Amino acid sequence: MNFQHFPSSGRGLKDIGWLQSNFFFSFSEYRNPMRSAFGTLLAFNDDFVAAGKGFGLHPHANMEIISVMLNGSMNHKDSMGYTNVVHEDWVQIMSAGTGLRHEEYNVGDDTVNFLQIWIQPKLQNVTPRYQYRHFPRAERRNRLVTIVSPEEGAGHCWINQNTRISLGLFDAGGATEYRFNPENKCLFLFVMSGAIDVAGQALPARDAIGIWDTGEIRITAKGEAEFLLIETPINQK
């Protein structure tokens, strides 16, 4: 097994007052040639948006964009005609394909915190698509729940890539084993709250770890802990 630790203290930072973005990989003005991506995971941003602020209408193409809401309420409006609001414990995806435009603003009173995840698509120039799902905390306790999958299904979002994203919320001492096909696959694990032990490494809140060349990992919560796990291709071959 091989792994790379991504401490929160090593993240890039963009702070423009109403927006604070923490980058694990090169994004916006942050450039780190040693951290350009992890497999087909091209961006993993831990974003905080002030009340009443947000991102105006802007374009995307040929990218799988996932938003995992950790706190607050944020609207979504796009050129496909979708208009809605997503809240804490909701997940939304945009399969940008041939191109779309969208906007999103903090429409609540609290600071929005969401994870912005960009995945390289499997197929180029597909028809754009939007989807969202709710994953209540009570239904995620002490188990891994798939929130994004390469297969269609009513219980999760699906994207144009052989990528699976799971959420874990475990009580102190709770543990789980995650098994996957190690051929051309890697794992990226991010701790939202609490602390965990994985692959012999202690990870506090907001740290991440990338793992490859193994088919199984064991994750143990040190106190109540919430984390996100991304299994994605190492490359497009």
Asked whether residue 102 is marked as a ligand-binding residue, the answer is yes
Q: Beta-carbon neighbour count of residue 162 at 10 Å?
A: 18
Secondary structure, 3-state, 151-211:
CCCCCCEECCCCCEEEEEEECCCCEEEEECCCCCEEEEEEEEECCEEECCEEECCCCEEEE
Sequence-separated (6 or more) residues with CB below 8 Å from residue 205:
8, 191, 192, 193, 194, 195
Q: Please check whether residue 182 is in contact with residue 233, taking contact to mean a CB–CB distance below 8 angstroms.
A: no
**H or E stretch covering 149:** strand 144-149
Q: Please check whether residue 183 is in contact with residue 205, taking contact to mean a CB–CB distance below 8 angstroms.
A: no
Sequence-separated (6 or more) residues with CB below 8 Å from residue 42:
25, 63, 118, 119, 120
Asked whether residue 104 is marked as a ligand-binding residue, the answer is yes
Asked whether residue 156 is marked as a ligand-binding residue, the answer is no
Residue position matching structure tokens 């701790």: 191
Asked whether residue 60 is marked as a ligand-binding residue, the answer is yes
Rounded-to-integer distance, Cα 115 and Cα 45, Å: 6
Residues at the binding site are: 58, 60, 102, 104
Residues at the binding site for Fe cation are: 58, 60, 102, 104
